Amino acid sequence: MSSRPLAVVTGGAGFIGSHMVDLLVDRGFRVHVIDSLIGGRASNLARHQANSDVSLDERDVRALVPNDAVFAGAQLVFHFAGIGDIVPSIERPTEYMSANAQGTVHVLEASRHAGVRKVVYAASSSCYGLAPVPTREDHPIAPQYPYALSKYMGEQAVLHWRHVYGLPVNVIRIFNAYGTRSRTSGAYGAVFGVFLRQKLAGKPFTVVGDGTQKRDFLYVTDVARAFLAAAETDKVGEAWNLGAGNPQSVNRLVELLGGPVVYIPKRPGEPDCTWADISKIKKDLGWAPLVSFEEGVAKIVAEIDYWREAPLWDTQSISEATKTWFQYLGSR
C-alpha cells in the first residue's frame, strides 16, 4: 500500500481537472480520477497513468454510491465534473439540473461516507448574473439561464452538507478560466476554443458585438493552485471568487492571436465585463495569480494543434446555434 496521500478529482480528464491532477501528482499525491470522458480526454492523463500515479474511473458521477470504493482512504476531493454551455442548458434544463446539482449530491455522499478531510467544489461566477464590477462574494445571486442555476444549486448542496452533516467543504466561484486542454467538442461556447480553431483554419475570428467586452481571464494552472490552497486551509464553509482581477477585452485577445475579424450580434444576458473582486481569496489563502494574460495566450498558441479537431464555427453556424439563446434571453 502506497504511503502517498490520496485525492479524488471528478472531471479529472477534462480542462481544469487534468491540470489539478498534474499539480496533485507534483505535490506527492496519488489521484483517483472520475470522468465519463464525454468532455474529457484520457490522453490528458497518459503520462501519470504510465507511472501508476493516477487511476481513471470512467463513470458519470451520478453513478457514485455512498460507500464508493473509489473514495476509500481519500483525504481530498476536488469536484469539477459537470456539463457546461449556455444554449444547451436552455434546451435541456432537466439534464443540467441532474448532472450539475444531483451529480454533486452523489459526490458529497461518497465523500461524507469516506470521511474525507476536505471537499472543494468548482462553482461558477455565472451565479451573479449581470453584476456590477468588480464583483464581491456577497453580491446578490441572480442566475440568468439553467446552467448558472444548476451550478449554484450544486454550490448550495455543498454548503448544506456542511451545515447538516459537518462535511468539511469549500467553494470556489470561477470566473473565466483559460489555458491548454480546454474543451474542443460540443456546443458553441467559450471564446478561446472558437478562436483557436478559426486560427488553425485561417478563418476570421467571430467577435461578438464590438469586442470591447472584457472577461476576467485566469490561466488554468493558477486555478489549480487556488483549489489546492482551498483544500489545505483550515477554513471551512467558505466561498471565494477566483479570477485574475484584471479583465481583458476580446479585442486584446484577437490582437495577441493575430488574424482577421468579423463581427456578430451582441447576445442578451451576457455581461459587458466580468471582474472578480479577489481580495478575499488573497487574504484568506495567500493566493495570487502568477501567469500574465500575454504569457497564458502564448502557452496556448504553442499547443494550438490540440484544437485541430474542434468544431469550426462561422457567422452562419453561430447564428443557428444561438437561436434559442436569443429566443429565451432576448425577450426579457
Tens-digit pLDDT profile for residues 230-284? 999 999 999 999 999 999 999 999 999 999 999 999 887 788 999 999 999 999 9
Tell me how far CA of residue 227 lies from CA of 19, 215, 233, in angstroms: 11, 20, 10
Kindly report the number of other CB atoms within 10 A of residue 266's CB atom.
11
Percent of the chain with pLDDT over 70: 97
Q: Where are the beta strands (DSSP E) in 85-165?
A: 118-124
Q: Cell numbers at residue 43, please?
A: 490522453
Given its phi and psi angles, is residue 274 left (phi above 0), alpha (psi -120 to 50 degrees) or beta? beta
Domain locations in the chain as residue ranges? 6-178+217-242, 191-215+246-274+291-329
Determine the 3-state secondary structure of 252 from DSSP: helix
CA distances from 177 to 45, 274, 314 (A): 20, 12, 23
Q: How far apart are CA 105 and CA 110, in angstroms?
A: 9
Judged against a pLDDT cut of 60, whether residue 331 lies above it is answered with no
pLDDT at 2 over 70: no
Catalytic amino acids? 147
Let me know: does 213 contact 249? Beta carbons within 8 Å: yes
d(CA 294, CA 252): 10
Tell me how far apart the alpha carbons of residues 174 and 284 are, in angstroms, rounded to a whole number. Answer: 16
Q: What is the tens place of the pLDDT at every residue in 37-95?
A: 998 999 999 888 777 789 999 999 999 999 999 999 999 999 999 999 888 899 999 99
How is 49-105 classified by DSSP, letter by letter?
HTTTSEEEE---GGG--TT-GGGTTEEEEEE------HHHHHH-HHHHIIIIIIHHH
Distance of CA 3 to the CA centre of its chain: 31
Q: Do the Cβ atoms of 84 and 26 come closer than 8 Å?
A: no
What fold does the segment set 6-178+217-242 form as a domain?
Rossmann fold (3.40.50)
CB within 8 Å of 236: residues ≥ 6 apart: 118, 162, 168, 169, 170
191-215+246-274+291-329: CATH class:
alpha beta
pTM of the model: 0.95
Sequence-distant (≥ 6) Cβ neighbours of residue 60 within 8 angstroms: 36, 81, 99, 103
pLDDT score of 52: 79
